A and B are shown apart, each in its own frame.
Chain A
Amino acid sequence: MAATLFFWLCAFLAFFFGLGVIVARNPMHSALSLVMTFVASAGLFLLLHAEFLAWILIIVYSGAVMVLMIFVISLLNLQRDEPIEFTAARRWGVAFVVVFAAALLIYLFRDASVGFTYPPKPAISAEWGSAKAIATDLFTRYLLPFELASVLLTAAVIGAVVIARKPDPNEINGMESTGEEPSNQ
């Protein structure tokens, strides 16, 4: 009973703030709504007994990714966005999404007894969502994807630094300067 209530609370919050992300006129409000969506999703992860990932979600998304996002928003000094105008192309896009959502609904509800009354998997141990279980899989069976992910992260770090770096004043036509570093960095 408590679990059901908790699910609907988290689901409602996730939906409400998810809507907030796309309707808020102020980018800062969008970003904060997204943070709340992640917190609500973390609540759902807790309900699924994936407690390690629930906290990782909060730490990585709320603690790192969204802080960076908010940092950029306040650096750029953005004004309120223009209201959304519905051009023909966008109307088609929205129609497509609505059709997709309707198809999904019909598919999920085609036999209400199938997915809505499922109990969790029988063979799942109590350790399923713990750090130990995930780490065991991550470092044995999925070692290659894990290593690739770390390579990707390294590449992303270097890429982000190179792209966001302030252009060097001594740099002319893409040629790296050979002189000394500018002092007013």
Chain B
Amino acid sequence: MTELSLAIYAAVRIGVIFSAVMTVVAFLPWIERKLIGRFQQRFGPYRVGPHGILQPIADSIKLVFKEDIIPNNADRVLFVLAPTLALITAVMNLAVIPFGPTFELFGISFGAVQVADVNVGILYIFGFASLGVYSLFLAGWSSGNKYSLLGGLRSSAQMFSYELSLGLSVVTVLMAVGDFKLSEIVLSQEGGFWNWWIVSPKWFVIPGLLGFFLLLVSAFAETNRLPFDLPEAETELVAGYHTEYSSMKFAMFFMAEYINMIVASSIVTTLFLGGWHAPLPYEPFVLAPGWMWFAAKVFVLLFLFIWVRATLPRFRYDQLMNFGWKFMLPLALFNIFLAACCLLLADRFAL
């Protein structure tokens, strides 16, 4: 295969994945508002289009035409850099997620539905996630506003604390698979939901369940969703780090947050829920293409994100820190120990 055709295939993959995710991102706020409305016994947006489905378009037109304000005592360069960084780090993470197996279009095979199968895929995601911390902090710091600064400080402290348990919860799966490559991790869960790492008998179920719980909670904290949305707590910090942002810069933060939700759900799906594998390896299930199963699992997790937001109240700051350092971190460390023991036992008795 020549370099040119490789480049064209890669461009097609990037185009397809990017536009698909962006479409979901456009309608996710509408889905969220509709669902939250239902949870709170309201209708949610209902005016623009049937059932308010055109609401995202109306919102984006409004945001584009708003005045773009930069406060007088803001650090201008960093103020503009922060939302850009937020969006870039979020989008970059989409590049390594395995959305599906090899797909064909008009008889031509385009390879797996994944932009780049990086050898150190999971580290790549952590790397960009850790760069993403700066966007929120810079937004808070460069605004020149004390509420924003508090929001930025909170976000950096929070992400810093929960990144540890996030990383450690992933280590269990890495130990079991023995590879950082995300496509390998998906392939290791082939053949029915009982092989998914969340309930896999290869390590006697418990480390999987614990790891899944830890990863999910850390993912909530990393994406700044309720109950961990202290950086943007509107009741105490008047929206925290994005108080001073308007127009497209605000929209970029918004998009970054929803892309991060999708990325987090995708990671949980890839690591613990079998990626693009069908739940049962039998005839009617395996006929659906892999990316559909992946999308279905991601949407279930996104629903969970919204459900939790509608259900749980916000943590207090000290509760958040205590939970992260005194509960999540020791539990994650214990889980690694447990997983190692289970894997060793399973290996010894050749299960």
Contact = CB atoms under 8 A, between A and B. Distances in A.
Interface of A: 28, 32, 35, 39, 42, 51-52, 55-56, 58-59, 62-64, 67-68, 70-71, 74-75, 130-131
Contacts of B159: 67
Specify which of A39, A42, A58 lies most central, judged by the most chain B CB atoms within 10 Å of its CB: A58
A69 B119 CA distance: 30
Contacts of A28: 141
B260 interface: no
Nearest to A131: B180
Contacts of B120: 51-52, 55, 130-131
B130 A59 contact: yes
Nearest to A77: B149
Interface residues of B, number: 26
Given A70-B137, A71-B156, A39 B131 contact: yes
22 contacts: A28-B141, A35-B134, A42-B127, A51-B120, A52-B120, A55-B120, A55-B123, A55-B124, A59-B127, A59-B130, A62-B130, A63-B130, A64-B130, A64-B163, A67-B130, A67-B133, A67-B160, A70-B137, A70-B156, A71-B153, A75-B153, A130-B119
Nearest to A126: B119
B119 A71 contact: no
Given A55-B123, A63-B163, A131-B120, A74 B141 contact: yes
Top 6 nearest A-B pairs (CB, nearest first) are A63-B130, A55-B123, A58-B127, A55-B127, A59-B126, A55-B120
A51 B117 CA distance: 13
Contacts of A52: 120, 123, 180
B11 interface: no
Contacts of A75: 153
A127 to B, nearest CB: 10
A32 B127 CA distance: 16
B157 interface: yes
Contacts of A74: 141, 149, 152-153
Contacts of A67: 130, 133-134, 137, 156, 159-160
Given A39-B131, A52-B120, A63 B180 contact: no
B126 A64 contact: no
Contacts of B180: 52, 131
A61 to B, nearest CB: 9
A136 B273 CA distance: 30
Interface string B112-144: 000000111001101101110110011001000
A75 B137 CA distance: 13
Contacts of A62: 127, 130-131, 134
Nearest to A68: B160
Interface string B142-171: 000000010011001101100100010000
Contacts of B163: 63-64
A175 B149 CA distance: 38
B244 to A, nearest CB: 16
